[in-house]
Chains A and B, each alone.
Chain A
Amino acid sequence: MVDPVAAIIQRLKATPAVVQAVGQADWISDQRPADAEPNRRHVAVLSAGGLGNHPDLPLNTRRVDIFCYGETAYAANLVAGAVYAALIPPSRRTAFVAAGVRVYHIAEVGGLTDLVDEGWPMSWGRFEVAFYEVPQGA
């Protein structure tokens, strides 16, 4: 089964505004930061459930959690803002192809939540994603 996480990570790494907000492309990953101290920014994209991949059954739509870390809550929010703008631009064109996957629908589910993860400020955004695999050579 294709996974939208890699596609979203590639999309974020390919967006200069996100890389600039985070500091380094390597700090956008499918893992949470493992550092002892909250001294940098980080974006972690994690699969968050959902059974199917059918746009007409929103309760089953695949979900993705994006955790945006920052050295302060303000910095975490700045990173989250760049991530949101990259995934949901202010236009109707939200589809993109990355990592062999076409993401043709991505929408925020609920609002941005500001939390502190073990002493590290973090903004938690939830998205629902509909996608399909792009055949090789397509």
Chain B
Amino acid sequence: MPLTWRGNELKLRTSEAARRAVDHTTAATVAPAKARARRRTGLLQGSIQFRPAVRTPGGWRGEVGSYNVHYAIWQEIGTRFMSGTHYLTRAADEEFPKLSQRIRANMGM
């Protein structure tokens, strides 16, 4: 029985599934992060966004966060006089564990 090498196709399929799953996961993290962010003017809440996955030597890297609000970090980690809400890490804790099942789903498994 002849064997047909389809490894390259499989690698591409896996990589594409991973990319989509990373994007899906970072996008899904935005809503719970917005829900956890302290709201006064809505500036921080409105600034939370995800960035499309980019290729790295180890695979794909996604990002989610606030990129243009200077006090976003202090709301996350807190200060000497205020506790942090950890709105990003808690949202990540909720969504990131679903990454593997999303890769599996994108692989059609």
Contacts and interface: CB of A to CB of B under 8 A. Distances in A.
Contact of B80 (A49, A50, A51, A118): A118
A118 B96 CA distance: 32
A84 interface: no
Interface in A35-79: 48-51, 57, 59-60, 63, 65, 67
A25 B79 CA distance: 22
B80 A34 contact: yes
Interface string B43-81: 000000000000000000000000000000110011111
A124 interface: yes
A133 to B, nearest CB: 22
Interface in B89-103: 89-90, 92-93, 96-97, 99
A50 B79 contact: no
Interface string A112-125: 00010110100010
Interface of B: 73-74, 77-81, 86, 89-90, 92-93, 96-97, 99
